[in-house]
Structure 1
Amino acid sequence: MSMKKKLSYILSGILIIAFYSCKKLVEVDPPITRTTEGSVFSTDDNAIAVVTNIYESLSQQDLSGNGSLMSLSAIGGLYADELNLFDATNTGLNLFYTNSLNPTVTGPWGNYYATIFTTNTVLSGLGHSATLSPAVKTQLKGEAEFIRAFCYFYLVNLYGDVPLVVTPDYKVNSVLSRSPVASIYQQITNDLLNAEADLSSDYLDGTLKPYGGSPERVRPAKAAATALLSRVYLYQQKYAEAEIYASKLIADSTYALVPLDNVFLKNSKEAIWQIQPTLVTATQEGRFFVLPPGGPGMGQPVYLSDTQLNVFDVGDGRRTKWIDIASGFYFDAKYKVGGIVVQAPVTTEYSMVLRLAEQYLIRAEARIKQHKIDAGVGDLNILRGRARVAPTSQNPNPLPPLPIGMSAANAMKAVERERQCELFCEWGNRFFDLKRWPSATNPSISLADEELSQVKKNWKSTDKFWPILQDDIVKDPALKQNPGY
């Protein structure tokens, strides 16, 4: 049997176990034996392949599948106020669009836990291996810690309290209840701090060696942990820490803001972490969001909402460069290759997961919350400067800088607007922002309750968190359902 085929069988075994762990979450069949674990993590090549498979799996996930990790850019935009659904007969997407989720809808719950199970298996295997190269073991440990933290970040923001699964031991996992949000964030922070220490500063290739030329940014490097840490601190209202971690990346010459047309290209200098398409040469975002000339249809069923279109000021290049129109329907055109074109001659774009522009937005908000309002507004103006179109005789001063001396309330409104203009249709950022910010007029409710109740016919406050899968609750009585379901 060839090494490639043998490795394929090993990986398949791990993925089958992960699949069952996602279907049952904590009531799973006995995991890989120590003997199998030993064979997987006995050589560098085998161990690297297990972790690489996580990224390959992400790259192949369809945005229209509401159970995939990657689908959050689509279902998050539909659930909030960024996207409209063209075809109401698309039952899976319509449940998100009409905020009509129920406990039988899987959502991304199962796939996040399947990936967590894989990372726990990796961490266990690495811990028991005495034959891996120290550098490979350390890097893979950092990657597994980062991916686990990444998954838990989305779980805690989508579902609130969730089971904290940190071992592949099915006996332990089968009786878990939901852990408080604070405990989940503590685990995320610990994993990211460990990952930041373990991950290489350089981007590494498929053999975990530094690139000889221009590096691909598809394996998480140290900066990915730093970037997610800054976001995690911001969400926990630890503003001083958020500012510090965002500043690390802004000061790093490895990264830079690039022209709007170049942001989503592969290996863009703005990219902190990207996912490389592996089955076709177009990104999943391009294939899903980019409309064909005839407008939306079965394969591209969404288009931009008026709420999203109306947020841009005159002279904002993000409106002209990142939005296009087909048969009267405006669509997200951050990615140019996609729609009915699923196979371009060469891959020119990678899916963006973490990028430098978000770090300016994080630092701006963190500074404003620490009463460093002018400094925070300065960060927003850097992004506005990048987005500004060329002056014309009709518009001699497009997208002017925000004024110095703004009030804290107005500066936060500017943060919201800039995040809407910059991060739309990216990984559910808008939905999470609406949930974490209080209403300016009624601080006892969230901005989600204030704004989404105006655009969603059936919006309820309990809709801010999604339902736990009923099958898991039946199998594990320790799990309790979210209110409202």
Structure 2
Amino acid sequence: MKINHIYKKISLSIIMLVCFSFSGCKKFVDIPEPIDTIPSDLVFTSDSKADAAVRNLYLNMVGGVNAGFGGGLQIALGVSSDELTVTVATNQFNDFFIHTVNAGTTANANQYNPLYSIIYSCNAIIEGITKAPAGMTAAGKARFMGEAKFIRAAMYFYLINMYGDVPMPTTTDYVANSNIAKTPLAQVYELIINDLKFAQTNLPAPYLNPTQRFRANRYSASALLSRVYLYRQDWVNAELMATEVIDALNGASKFYDLETDLSKTFLIGSKEAILQMPPISTINYTYEAFSFISTGVPNYQISDALYATFEPGDLRKTNWIKTNTITTGGVPKAYNFPFKYKINSGAGGAKTEGTVFLRISEVYLNRAEARAQQNKLALAISDLDVIRGRSGITKIAITNPSISQADLLSTLAHERFVELFQEFGHRWLDLKRTGKADEVLKNTPNWRPEAKLFPFPANEIKYNPSLIQNPGYSN
């Protein structure tokens, strides 16, 4: 399995990170340790050293502009659904748009491999903290273990929702991992839920930096649990987890709240953000803005289906979508593209925007759907109307207070479409989990039911004889 190769490189990077961060670890470079291990007596001898390793997880989550959470995953899933379109056929994500992804598609491997790289790092940190000698505090062990398990859960959530049953390594034993078969989806979800419950129990509510939300806290775990339970159709627990986040108090005020000014939603320090990832290195922009914003013809456009579904007066359409009108041969044409993130260049100055992985509006929609599924229609309408009211459109409680359960669920699906577009593939995943993908996407190029799962990259099949390719794809 090529994951084995990735694992060894990532392990070495964690060691180097900690060693170069702390001069007391300098002699480690002279010790001939196997590169597939992280010696706990050297790396995890203090909270500060463990913290350095955990901080590196978040940097790796952002990754590169076309890979993983840095923007590639959002693009790949966005163009696979009916929310984004690709402008030119030579675009590296065009195979996702026309549903011709195959085992050799580089952009597919660029999503798969980084997620497993981060999982290995999480496993290494979990093992290192578990075996750590004296030096770390009990609170430090709990917190950093909680963060590692939270991130591992997030990576596995996306892997199973993109590829179905997947290998599920939970250790750094690359010999064992090199021949690991697919783990049933239900079993992977069990690990995800257990990891998130651990994080929920062991992470404190306050953020490490009260002005930033760059590290997972207790409510990050609860928010992701609300999504996971929703996907598992565990409506009761989805509602409970969402309620914990919505009702969270920081003193006399809410921990999270909707921004009435939609231009503030994706700013660092936004009241809506539950977990953000800042721009990495010295750049001042998010990779989403870099990928989507254009002064000419954009690489990725808002689909006609999405643009047309906004209701009149919806502030999200005017705040989160931008239009360039390009005249060619005397004929003007409008190009609409995502504009949630507005800074797409610059370096060395203050960072004002950060990629939002979890935010409170999704949690309201999670709870609304969970309540609607339990036939708690009035409560579901109330949650839905929080989002609609902030967005400048008429509330359901006014226009249709006696709405049926089926119609309310349909309205909720619409609301998720216009609220969460461009954010970590919500539309693609929603279509699949609700059984609507075949119906909605049947007229898109080359659509077939097997396209709901992506293929395993060719090298993964080549290096792991136990890994079977997904149906509908050749190796």
- TM-score, normalised to structure 1, is 0.85
- C-alpha displacement of 1:175: 2.3
**Counterpart residue number, 1:316:** 314
- C-alpha displacement of 1:67: 5.5
**Counterpart residue number, 2:83:** 82
1:462 is aligned to 2:465: no
2:442 counterpart SS class: helix
1:471 is aligned to 2:459: yes
**Counterpart residue number, 1:348:** 352
2:147 counterpart SS class: helix
Structure 1 unaligned spans of 5+: 1-7, 16-28, 205-210, 390-396, 438-445
1:178 is aligned to 2:182: yes
Specify the code of the residue in structure 2 equivalent to 1:317: L
Higher deviation after alignment, 149-158 or 366-375: 366-375
1:78 counterpart SS class: helix
Counterpart selection for 2:427 from 402, 405, 430: 430
Go from structure 1 to structure 2 and tell me whether the alpha carbon gap of 1:94 and 1:470 turns closer, same or farther (over 3 Å shift). Answer: same
1:278 is aligned to 2:280: yes
Counterpart selection for 2:363 from 336, 359, 380: 359
Q: State the alpha-carbon separation in 2 of the partners of residues 242 and 306 from structure 1.
A: 32
Specify the code of the residue in structure 1 equivalent to 2:161: N
Write out per-residue CA displacement over residues 181-233 of structure 1, whole angstroms, 9 at most, x where no aligned residue: 100100000000001111111101xxxxxx4xx43100001111000000000
Contact 1:466 1:482 in 2 (8 A): yes
Write out per-residue CA displacement over residues 244-291 of structure 1, whole angstroms, 9 at most, x where no aligned residue: 110111111111111212111101111100001123111111111122
Structure 2 unaligned spans of 5+: 1-10, 19-32, 249-253, 326-333
**Counterpart residue number, 1:414:** 411
Q: State the alpha-carbon separation in 1 of the partners of residues 68 and 270 from structure 2.
A: 29
Contact 1:315 1:398 in 2 (8 A): no
Q: State the alpha-carbon separation in 1 of the partners of residues 194 and 153 from structure 2.
A: 9
Go from structure 1 to structure 2 and tell me whether the alpha carbon gap of 1:371 and 1:37 turns closer, same or farther (over 3 Å shift). Answer: same
- C-alpha displacement of 1:402: 4.7
Counterpart selection for 2:236 from 232, 235, 240: 240
Write out per-residue CA displacement over residues 333-371 of structure 1, whole angstroms, 9 at most, x where no aligned residue: 111111xx3448421111100000001100111011111
- C-alpha displacement of 1:47: 1.4
- C-alpha displacement of 1:72: 1.6
Contact 1:31 1:170 in 2 (8 A): no
Counterpart selection for 2:139 from 135, 138, 144: 135
Contact 1:316 1:399 in 2 (8 A): no
Go from structure 1 to structure 2 and tell me whether the alpha carbon gap of 1:323 and 1:104 turns closer, same or farther (over 3 Å shift). Answer: same
Go from structure 1 to structure 2 and tell me whether the alpha carbon gap of 1:398 and 1:132 turns closer, same or farther (over 3 Å shift). Answer: closer
| Structure 1 consecutive aligned stretches of length 4 or more whose deviation exceeds 4 Å | 12-15, 66-69, 397-402
2:401 counterpart SS class: coil
1:358 counterpart SS class: helix
Q: State the alpha-carbon separation in 2 of the partners of residues 174 and 459 from structure 1.
A: 33
- C-alpha displacement of 1:69: 5.8
Q: State the alpha-carbon separation in 2 of the partners of residues 95 and 119 from structure 1.
A: 31
1:229 is aligned to 2:229: no
Q: State the alpha-carbon separation in 2 of the partners of residues 467 and 481 from structure 1.
A: 7
1:218 is aligned to 2:214: yes
**Counterpart residue number, 2:41:** 38
RMSD of aligned residue pairs (Cα, Å): 2.1
Q: State the alpha-carbon separation in 1 of the partners of residues 15 and 163 from structure 2.
A: 29
Q: State the alpha-carbon separation in 1 of the partners of residues 141 and 413 from structure 2.
A: 41
**Counterpart residue number, 1:333:** 339
2:211 counterpart SS class: coil
Write out per-residue CA displacement over residues 382-423 of structure 1, whole angstroms, 9 at most, x where no aligned residue: 10000006xxxxxxx799855211111111110111001100
**Counterpart residue number, 2:388:** 384
Go from structure 1 to structure 2 and tell me whether the alpha carbon gap of 1:189 and 1:176 turns closer, same or farther (over 3 Å shift). Answer: same
2:470 counterpart SS class: coil
Specify the code of the residue in structure 1 equivalent to 2:301: Y
**Counterpart residue number, 1:118:** 121
**Counterpart residue number, 1:18:** none
Write out per-residue CA displacement over residues 26-76 of structure 1, whole angstroms, 9 at most, x where no aligned residue: xxx965346x342111222221111101112233420xx256664221111
**Counterpart residue number, 2:6:** none
1:50 is aligned to 2:53: yes
Specify the code of the residue in structure 2 equivalent to 1:77: G
1:406 counterpart SS class: coil
Q: How does 1:180-199 map to 2 (within 5 A)?
A: 180-199=184-203
Q: State the alpha-carbon separation in 2 of the partners of residues 115 and 463 from structure 1.
A: 26
Go from structure 1 to structure 2 and tell me whether the alpha carbon gap of 1:185 and 1:31 turns closer, same or farther (over 3 Å shift). Answer: farther
2:469 counterpart SS class: coil
Contact 1:282 1:344 in 2 (8 A): no
**Counterpart residue number, 1:4:** none
Taking only the aligned residue pairs, the percentage that are identical comes to 37
- TM-score, normalised to structure 2, is 0.86
Counterpart selection for 1:264 from 259, 263, 266: 266
Q: State the alpha-carbon separation in 2 of the partners of residues 123 and 358 from structure 1.
A: 29
1:273 counterpart SS class: strand
Counterpart selection for 1:447 from 436, 442, 452: 436
- C-alpha displacement of 1:475: 1.7
Aligned length: 430
Go from structure 1 to structure 2 and tell me whether the alpha carbon gap of 1:275 and 1:265 turns closer, same or farther (over 3 Å shift). Answer: same
- C-alpha displacement of 1:155: 0.5
Go from structure 1 to structure 2 and tell me whether the alpha carbon gap of 1:473 and 1:9 turns closer, same or farther (over 3 Å shift). Answer: closer
Go from structure 1 to structure 2 and tell me whether the alpha carbon gap of 1:70 and 1:144 turns closer, same or farther (over 3 Å shift). Answer: farther
- C-alpha displacement of 1:13: 4.9
Write out per-residue CA displacement over residues 148-203 of structure 1, whole angstroms, 9 at most, x where no aligned residue: 00000000100110111111111221221101110010000000000111111110
- C-alpha displacement of 1:139: 0.7
Q: State the alpha-carbon separation in 1 of the partners of residues 399 and 242 from structure 2.
A: 21
